[in-house]
Structure 1
Amino acid sequence: MEKIAHISSELKDWILNTLKSGVHPEQIANAMIKKGFDPIFSYKTLLKLMNNNPIETVIREPRPYLYEIPEICKKGTIISTSDRDIKVLMKIEKPFIVYLDNVLSDEECDRLIEISISRLKPSKVVDSVTGEIKTASGRTSSGTYYQLNETALIGRIEQRLAELTDFPIENGEGMQVLNYKVGEEYKPHFDYFPENKIQLSTGGQRIGTVLMYLNNVQAGGETIFPKAGISVTPKKGSAVFFHYGNSEGQVDRMSLHSSIPVVEGEKWVATKWLRQSEIVERF
């Protein structure tokens, strides 16, 4: 197979940022070679970038995302779990978004808020280039994480979501509860990870999200999918499921989304991120 002897502007930016983060150039070159780049080209490119010399980049046309129907979209308009009937209110195909009602009871929503208030800490993000977990001005909420089955309530909801989505409990990250005060938001972002930060031991790539609304927001706080032109108003007990990873390892850039600022009142949500395989190493 012919070795790759050109790079995209995105790869150039990644290399520069990785060098700045302190990674040894040889490690970067070896990573490029493993991905199919010509060894001589890899080392020459790194040398030029380290010496601030110009290099030519090519515009890479991404392969169109291949949409695969997730199991939840094959279950009809009423999805029965072992303890609850969940209603499908809306389906969108590109990106795959399902708006669901009756996912949580009012009592479950209230209890999740109650047990989370004292645990809240400033929310963090995953850097799209380095994969570093850090606070950022674009995400101004507070949140807390729960271990799988940490409480009877968490365990019951985890089981329900597994039956709803057909993703095993072991493929899910621990549930996160978030609180947004007036003016707080999460600017447009993707839930999936940078390609260089995917690890099989931690379940591989994120490929789906269940976002559960724990209260009714008086004004603002909608979940926006700007590329799809969709806005979801928070409704207590309802949820949005969106799917953005396929069996070929592609991710769907149409899944870009944001939580716009709360205008009046506050917003509480619970988030469940789903991985492509079992999470063996948990933190």
Structure 2
Amino acid sequence: MRPSPGNGATAARLAAVPGIQRVPTRALELFILRGVLDAATCAALIAQIDARRRPSEIADDVGIANFRTSETCDFDWRDPVVSAVDRRIADLLGLPLGASEPLQGQRYAPGQEFKPHTDTFEPGGYDYLVHTAAGGQRTWTAMIYLNAPDDGGATRFKQIGKTVQPEAGKLLAWNNLLPDGRPNPATLHQGMKVRRGTKYVLTKWFRERAADVA
């Protein structure tokens, strides 16, 4: 297996960021950083999500009803707010913007959730062949909460017993791959059900190599 690009270097870069927290586990590289986006930027992105939302889709469909019930926004990369956030995330992780997917937003209304899943494509499956042909496997995920709903909506990493509560501007970043390049099963996570209010997040996925992975 080939090593994961950015594996080690990205973790070291993030570990040096003032105020960042590395979750204490050997199972995966998972970091939390508050205050990555300010209130005005979060509000601008929330407005765009509300205006451009569509039902969320899922690769590697496992055939479970209501597995992912959120809505998704495909941001316009030409928008100055979106492009600035794109660059901010890439610079923070030290990964090339060209080796990433376009920035997405997600909206979770009361009762909506994303059941336990990983962000990688399952090797050997049809979706793996389709989605990794250009840019390769997903490496790092960066997710930023844009607000905190009134109740619920936490992100839970079940295998390591870590639950992260939503907070406007808070970033979660994790390495989806093991050192040998295989998907790391310990990255299994879920967007827990929102009980009151609405949750907004944005997500950025990086790939093994630069390519058109839109």
TM-score norm. by structure 2 comes to 0.87
Letter in 2 for 1:87: G
CA apart distance, 1:271: 0.4
Letter in 2 for 1:94: A
CA apart distance, 1:78: 5.8
Taking the TM superposition and a 5 Å limit, the aligned residue runs for 1:232-251 are 232-246=164-178, 248-251=180-183
Taking the TM superposition and a 5 Å limit, the aligned residue runs for 1:96-115 are 96-115=29-48
Q: Is the 8 A contact 1:128 1:194 kept in 2?
A: no
Correspondence for 1:127 = 60
Letter in 2 for 1:75: R
1:172 aligns with 2:100: yes
SS of the residue 2:142 aligns to: strand
Distance in 2 between residues matched to 1:167 and 1:278, nearest whole Å? 10
Q: Identity percentage over the alignment?
A: 27
Distance in 2 between residues matched to 1:213 and 1:76, nearest whole Å? 18
Distance in 2 between residues matched to 1:146 and 1:205, nearest whole Å? 22
Deviations 1:162-215 (A, max 9, x none): 111111001110111000011100000110002132465521001111110000
Correspondence for 1:73 = 11
SS of the residue 2:106 aligns to: strand
Q: Is the 8 A contact 2:100 2:205 kept in 1?
A: yes
In structure 1, runs of 5+ residues without a counterpart are 1-62, 80-85
Correspondence for 2:21 = 89
Deviations 1:117-172 (A, max 9, x none): 1211110100257xxxx99511000111125x321111111111111111100111
In structure 2, do the counterparts of structure 1 residues 194 and 128 end up closer, same or farther at CA, with 3 Å as the change threshold?
A: farther
- Of 83, 89, 93, 1:155 maps to 83
1:189 aligns with 2:117: yes
Distance in 1 between residues matched to 2:7 and 2:210, nearest whole Å? 20
Distance in 1 between residues matched to 2:44 and 2:64, nearest whole Å? 27
CA apart distance, 1:246: 4.1
In structure 2, do the counterparts of structure 1 residues 250 and 78 end up closer, same or farther at CA, with 3 Å as the change threshold?
A: closer
Q: Which has the larger radius of gyration?
A: 1
Q: Is the 8 A contact 1:87 1:102 kept in 2?
A: no
Distance in 2 between residues matched to 1:77 and 1:248, nearest whole Å? 21
SS of the residue 1:75 aligns to: helix
Distance in 2 between residues matched to 1:76 and 1:208, nearest whole Å? 12
Q: Is the 8 A contact 1:72 1:166 kept in 2?
A: yes
Computed over aligned residues only, the root mean square deviation of the Cα atoms, in angstroms, reads 2.6
SS of the residue 1:126 aligns to: coil
Distance in 2 between residues matched to 1:273 and 1:69, nearest whole Å? 14
Distance in 2 between residues matched to 1:245 and 1:69, nearest whole Å? 8
Deviations 1:256-275 (A, max 9, x none): 00011011111000000111
In structure 2, do the counterparts of structure 1 residues 201 and 219 end up closer, same or farther at CA, with 3 Å as the change threshold?
A: same
1:209 aligns with 2:130: no
| Aligned positions, number | 207
CA apart distance, 1:218: 1.6
In structure 2, runs of 5+ residues without a counterpart are none
Letter in 1 for 2:44: R
Distance in 1 between residues matched to 2:123 and 2:35, nearest whole Å? 35
